Structure 1
Amino acid sequence: MKNLFLSLTILATLFTGCSTDDDEGTIQPVEGELTGSITTNRTIAYGNYTLNGIVTIESGVTVTFDAGSTITASATNGVDAIVVKNGGKLIMNGTASQPIVLTESSATPGSWGGIIMYGDAPINGAGGVTTKTSEDGLNLPYGGTNPTHNGGTLRYVRVEYAGKKITDGTSEMNGFSFYSVGSGTILENLVSYKGADDGYEFYGGTVSASNLISYGNYDDSFDWQDGWKGQNNSNWYAYQTTTGNFGMEIEASNNNNAFWPVIANITLKRASGTVTEGGSSAAEYDAIQFKKQGNGDFTNIVISGYTTAGATAVRIQDAGTNTDQVNASKIKLTSVKINDGTSEYAGAGTLTVAFPSGQFTTSSSATGANLTNGVWSTVGGVSLIQ
């Protein structure tokens, strides 16, 4: 199958400049299959490709996809995913009108593994470890000492129906999974649509991301651990519908720390009737949850729809996080607007939470994420920006 992939890639490259005979000179999409390990630099021409199994971009290799391409996985293949190993680069430069779409033929959430990227930026795992093994079933190492690691560019890319549970049924893949990815990587205008796990998960690292949409993902819209500390994040938008847990699940692997991510312009919305994966009684229905020493600096936040009985806009889950992060002013949420009367914040159980002065502020003029709609943010003729 590897040879098939290579031959199709070469064929696609040859047809990049070809066009139809009509007056408009429209370039016709190439048809092909992607499979196996990619061991040499490749440009994948504009086209429609099927994804067969786990495609890996090996260290030292750059793979570039043309704008407007579609890549279709199938649950019948077993596990499909695109994996960028540490040292490899994935370049997907879509545009607002010609996004690169990765989907699945049955349109069933949880059918494939999405995009998984590995780097060697620093992590801070449980117990202070600096390297770990991935939880995606691939059992690959992540963590390192290179904060500026560059795994490529993902721009105007939409991942649909990912979040596959594999091996024993508990190892999980997300829409986008970033393992110790560094600040040299560009993540802009991305959509994670109707996956069965998290929309985006960051496992340590220093990468930042702007203009993100997480729509209809079953677990958390945004999730991180292992000391992720991206500093230049903006315009994060989540819309939870039918099934969904937290809008944002924030933890730092039980390490009290003096660093944190910074995110400006956040919108978290939950549609009426949305329940958690385990049913609403599972108590994972808050907009934002901090636990295991999670922290961060967040501003211009709009929260709507988290009205299930007992839900709150911000939940502090454990006493250690309350003492070391809230009370020590390592969690900061400013210019917060809650549209429907949901309580501002609370502790789990009987835990009492009181933010220091200036660490939690509200504003009726907060606007949240500022995104421009287009083909990139539209599925089936419906805008994802509700």
Structure 2
Amino acid sequence: MKRNLLTLISLTLLLSVSSCTIEINDDAGTPTTTNPGNTSGVLPEGGKLSGEITSNLTIKKGNYTLEGIVKVADGATLTIEAGATFTVSTKVTSSLVVLQGGKVIALGTANEPIVFTTENKTPGGWGGITLYGRAPIKAVNGNTTAVSEDGNAISYGGNDANFSSGILKFVRVEYAGKKINDGTSETNTFTFYSVGDGTILENLVAYKGTDDGFEFFGGTVSAKNLVSYGNYDDSFDWQDAWSGQNNSNWYAFQTVTGNFGMEIEASANVDNTAPKISNITLIRDANTAPEVAGSSEISAIQFKRQGTGIFSNVYISGYKNMGGKNAYSVLIQEDTTETNQVNTGKIKVEPLTYLNSDNAGVWGYAYPKTNPKTFTNATGVTKVSLTPGAWATVDGVNLLAALQ
């Protein structure tokens, strides 16, 4: 009786000095943290990540669960060490969101990546990873702020181009794309709202999400060694005049279901800074169909609404006509985008090699065009080269196999 009383007193004192919620595991007799505002600053092995993180928290190598919308608050840093694996609950709306001023330091390795997955391994199970920064944007009508479309309705945009939201290295996110709001919209696998160039994004895998693999909403951040594999919508997407200048080694493998390899717009802002990406490989597996049967969203790279991009060493393969629609290496949607962006040198896709695809040697246009831009397959363009390892392997399948 005295022993139980002492235990109760100790637990009462702990709760009085901590903002966390403690859940007692009756089987093991040990507490697990359900809200990580604990005094130790370390989530116990096998613990549950949920709620709002308001103070620094470290997650070490091991297995964990993530449940609900986990937010890293302004001033807090979430550190995730190599080899940490999270099984995300799909019974509730779940996602990992780093708010403006919060940071995530997720440092995996090629052989010990940081992985977010789900139990049922079904695309669309959760909301993926979303970062908010304080870098500039140009939204519709040139607005410097906008409201996010990820279901959190957070205002984003700022004036610090070099702002850091942390580091993501060797991180793989699986089966994201949770439907939100009216049920017709989905979150992306990785989403970056006004993220600044002080943020490091390297060796990231977006695997089988039901919306875009990677989407940038303005900001200045750059990203290297990206893998977008089997995502239902676009492999890479941006708007709000994203302007990252130091991007390299982007690889997309579209299979079963997929729309554009890249969908590019600047929210109709004529005056924008063209992002730069060196080394792009876009591969469309045989019989890959768009989300909507008969859709024209089957080309490799689409530019619309004043979208821009300076792309070099581009390798494209497998884009075939389907459902009565034509597939192109590059598709320009409006003559205004051609006039303001192509003709001023803010859209370039060269050198380019376009293989095993229809409509070779010519760009496509979604409006009448008498003199389409032509090109000759460049020599010396090769597929992207990426480091092999567990970071790009799912259930024994090497995601980089098509690059060999």
TM-score by length of 1: 0.91
User: 1:294 is aligned with what amino acid?
Assistant: G
RMSD: 1.8
| 2:173 alignment partner, one of 159, 184, 197 | 159
Query: How far apart, CA to CA, are the structure 1 residues paired with 2:43 and 2:337?
Result: 56
| Of 364, 388, 394, the match for 1:373 | 388
Aligned: 1:319 with 2:338: no
1:60 corresponds in structure 2 to 75
Residue-by-residue CA offset, 1:162-218 (whole Å, 9 max, x unaligned): 011112113421000000000000000000000000000000000000000000000
**Cα distance in 1, alignment partners of residues 101 and 314 from structure 2:** 35
Question: In the TM superposition, what whole-angstrom CA distance separates every residue of 1:122-145 from its partner, at most 9, and x where no partner exists?
Answer: 001110000000001110010010
- Give the 3-state SS of the residue equivalent to 1:48 in structure 2: strand
Matched, 1:124 2:121: no
* Matched-pair contact (CA < 8 Å) for 2:176–2:210: yes
Q: Do structure 1's residue 31 and structure 2's residue 46 form an aligned pair?
A: yes
Alignment of 1:195-210 (within 5 A): 195-210=209-224
Q: Match for residue 305 of structure 1?
A: 318
Deviation at 1:56, TM superposition (A): 0.2
Task: Give 1:261's aligned residue.
Answer: 275
CA distance in 2, matches of 1:250, 1:234: 17
Query: Quick one: distance in 1 between partners of 2:121 and 2:331?
Result: 33
> 2:64 is matched by which residue type in structure 1?
Y
Cα offset for 1:11?
A: 7.0
Asked whether the equivalents of residues 36 and 43 of structure 2 are also in contact (C-alpha less than 8 Å), the reply is no
Which of 59, 65, 82 matches 1:50? 65
Aligned equivalents of 1:49, 1:308: Cα separation in 2:
44
Q: 1:342-363 CA deviation, whole Å, 9 max, x = no partner? A: 323110142346459xxx6641
Match of 1:104 in 2: 118
Q: Distance in 2 between matches of 1:260 and 1:70?
A: 36
The 3 A distance-change label for structure 1 pair 222 and 14 is closer
Comparing 364-373 with 341-350, greater Cα deviation is found at: 341-350
Deviations 1:228-258 (A, max 9, x none): 0000000000000000000000000001024
* Kept in 2: contact 1:137–1:171 (CA 8 A): no
Identify the range of structure 1 (130-139 vs 328-337) with the bigger mean alpha-carbon deviation.
Answer: 328-337
Name 1:292's counterpart in structure 2: 305
The 3-state SS of whatever aligns with 1:63 is strand
Q: Which runs of 4+ in 1 moved over 4 A?
A: 6-12, 352-356
Q: Cα gap change, 1:46/1:352 in structure 2, threshold over 3 Å: closer, same or farther?
A: farther
d(CA) in 2 for partners of 1:361 and 1:90? 44
Partner of 2:14: none
Structure 1 CA distance for aligned equivalents of residues 61 and 54 of structure 2: 21
> What letter matches 1:312 in structure 2?
Y
Largest Rg, 1 or 2: 2
> Secondary structure of the residue that 1:282 maps to in structure 2?
coil
TM-score when scaled to structure 2?
Answer: 0.87
Displacement of 1:13 after TM fit?
Answer: 3.6
Q: Which runs of 5+ in 1 are unaligned?
A: 16-29
Q: Which residue of 2 aligns with 1:18?
A: none
1:91 aligns with 2:109: no
2-side partners of 1:9 and 1:50: how far apart? 17
Q: How many residues align?
A: 367
Query: Once structures 1 and 2 are overlaid, which stretch shifts more, 160-169 or 129-138?
Result: 160-169
In structure 2, the residue matched to 1:348 is 366
Contact 1:51–1:80 (8 Å) recurs in 2? yes
TM-superposition CA deviations, 1:267-286 (whole Å, max 9, x none): 0000011100102x111000
Note if contact 1:81-1:114 (Cα within 8 Å) is conserved in structure 2.
Answer: yes
Shift in Å at residue 74 of structure 1? 2.2
After superposing the two structures, state which structure 1 stretch, 322-331 or 229-238, moved more: 322-331
